[in-house]
Amino acid sequence: MHTLLLRGQRYLEPVIAIIFFVFWALAETGTHPILPGLLRSVLPWWAALLGVSIAIAVCRIWPLVAMGVSTLVVVGQLLFPYSAVFTHTDWPIYLGFLIVVLGVSAAVRDRWRPVSFAFAIGIAVSVAGLLVGWGRMDWYGPIADTSRGATSDVGMIVANRITIFAIALILSIGAWLLGFFGRAWQQKLQNDALLAQTTDDLRAAEVDLLVSQERDRIAQDVHDIMAHSLSVIIAQADGARFVAPARPEAVSESLENIAASARTSLTEVRMLIETLITDPVGHSAPRIAELDELVDRMRTAGLDVALEQFGDPEPLTSTQELAVYRIVQESLTNALKHAGREPVARVALDWRGNGLAITVASNGEPSSRSEPLTTSRGLYGMRERARLAGGWLTCGPVDDTPGGYIVTAFIPTDAAVETAA
């Protein structure tokens, strides 16, 4: 319905123009008959009526054309004052110029607005001048008739003429202001609608961004959990396959380690799913205290790993502790997968600064690293976790150690963050 009303607005002025022309044509046919012997005297009047009607019809579609046609009508009436001017019973036709002024003011571009205001003033003055400039008008005050020796009240005549000019100016300026404020109000409504649409689009984009970030976080958690567990399982399975002919009893121990690693990973994934159901931003959150258990699992998987701590531990947020755990977990998993046979790793946690400095150094056979680790999802996730925890992370190969690789990260404590702030 609203769309239909908007589409119908473009036909409003043309319909008004048709009604306006038909009404005055029927009303004044007897006064201005179109007959062969009267064409010269009545055609200027009909041309003026048609010009006003055309100006009304196009005042919003082509405002400059409407101003031009209205100006031609007024100029034509000045050139043919006794046959084209609207007087006596048809003077209300001049009110059609108010519709033209209103429509032009509402539709004209900003750079033409001063011209439209000058047009409104000019039309008002011209129409008022036409109304009082010829003796055919007798309704605004007494007119001197010197042929009969009558005298006129000059003061009343002047006052009435001033009144006519004032009324014409007030009506014309009022119509212009009405069109101006109507256009301003329409623009405000359009801007409000655009702002509301933009706000909705931004809100939708924000939701999409949050969903994307949550998906990325879930993918990162699943990657950390599954990559670690599968690396341990693969290492144990390969070890059991190699030692089975010589030590059949070692197969049972390897199978127990595989089952334990699988159960741990299953528990972490279940915790992740449950926390997502109960809390959209939640996740499984291993803590720093569980690093010893992580190191033990990596040792059973065949990684010679040592864990060292320096200084007294200080409290970290749950997000920071999760970041520390995942960084160490991903670093040891990469060492187990990429360091070749007999991999060795060393984890150092240093609390002696303004936070926790993490160093994970590993080495193995140089030829075993078949792809650059700097482009893997795991290392990207470690950098993001460190950044979100308020710290940083760097990683890369060790130049003076064949097959060596080192991960260095720093997570500030709450006290260090408050001091920096």
What confidence tens digit (pLDDT) does each residue in 218-265 have? 666 666 666 666 667 777 676 666 766 766 666 667 677 777 766 666
Mean pLDDT score, 19-24:
90
Q: Where does 110-153 have alpha helices with state H?
A: 113-133
Mean pLDDT score, 10-24:
87
Q: What is the pLDDT of residue 347?
A: 95
Looking at mean pLDDT, say which of 28-32, 141-145, 184-188 comes out highest.
184-188
Percent of the chain with pLDDT over 90: 17
Find tokens 């100016």 and name the residue.
169
More confident residue, 380 or 22: 22
Q: What is the pLDDT of residue 37?
A: 72
Q: What is the pLDDT of residue 351?
A: 93
* Maximal C-alpha separation, the chain: 148
What are the tokens at 76?
């034509």
Task: Report residue 4: phi and psi, to 5°.
Answer: -65, -40
**Looking at 174-183, 249-258, 399-408, which range is the least confident one?**
249-258
C-alpha separations of 369 from 299, 336, 363, 364, 397 in Å:
21, 11, 10, 9, 10
What are the tokens at 6?
């908007």
Angstrom distance (rounded) from CA 255 to CA 235: 11
pLDDT reading at 11 higher than 90: no
Instruction: Please check whether residue 389 is in contact with residue 323, taking contact to mean a CB–CB distance below 8 angstroms.
Output: yes
Angstrom distance (rounded) from CA 395 to CA 385: 14
**Looking at 68-72, 363-367, 407-411, which range is the least confident one?**
363-367
Who's near 396: CB < 8 A, 6+ residues apart?
Answer: 374, 405, 406
Per-residue b or e along 166-176, where b marks 16 or more CB atoms closer than 10 Å to that residue's CB: eebbebbeebb
Who's near 414: CB < 8 A, 6+ residues apart?
Answer: 315, 316, 317
pLDDT reading at 197 higher than 70: yes
pLDDT digits (tens, 9 = 90+) for 335-371: 887 766 778 899 999 999 889 999 999 887 654 444 4
Q: What is the pLDDT of residue 129?
A: 84
Instruction: Please check whether residue 32 is in contact with residue 46, taking contact to mean a CB–CB distance below 8 angstroms.
Output: yes
pLDDT digits (tens, 9 = 90+) for 290-341: 899 888 888 887 788 999 999 998 888 887 888 899 899 888 888 887 766 7
pLDDT-derived band at 135 (thresholds 50, 70, 90) equals very low
Q: What is the pLDDT of residue 153?
A: 64
Who's near 185: CB < 8 A, 6+ residues apart?
Answer: none
What are the tokens at 23?
């009404």
CB-based burial of residue 330 (10 Å sphere; 0-12 exposed, 13-18 middle, 19+ buried)? buried
Phi-psi region of 379 (alpha: psi -120 to 50; beta: other; left: phi over 0): alpha
More confident residue, 145 or 187: 187
pLDDT reading at 38 higher than 80: no
User: What angle, rounded to 10 degrees, do the helices at 291-300 and 249-278 form?
Assistant: 140
| pTM of the predicted model as reported, rounded to 2 decimal places | 0.47
Cα angle 349, 350, 355 (rounded to 5 degrees) comes to 110
**Looking at 6-15, 23-32, 221-230, which range is the least confident one?**
221-230
CB-based burial of residue 26 (10 Å sphere; 0-12 exposed, 13-18 middle, 19+ buried)? exposed
**Looking at 40-54, 96-110, 283-297, which range is the least confident one?**
283-297
More confident residue, 407 or 414: 407
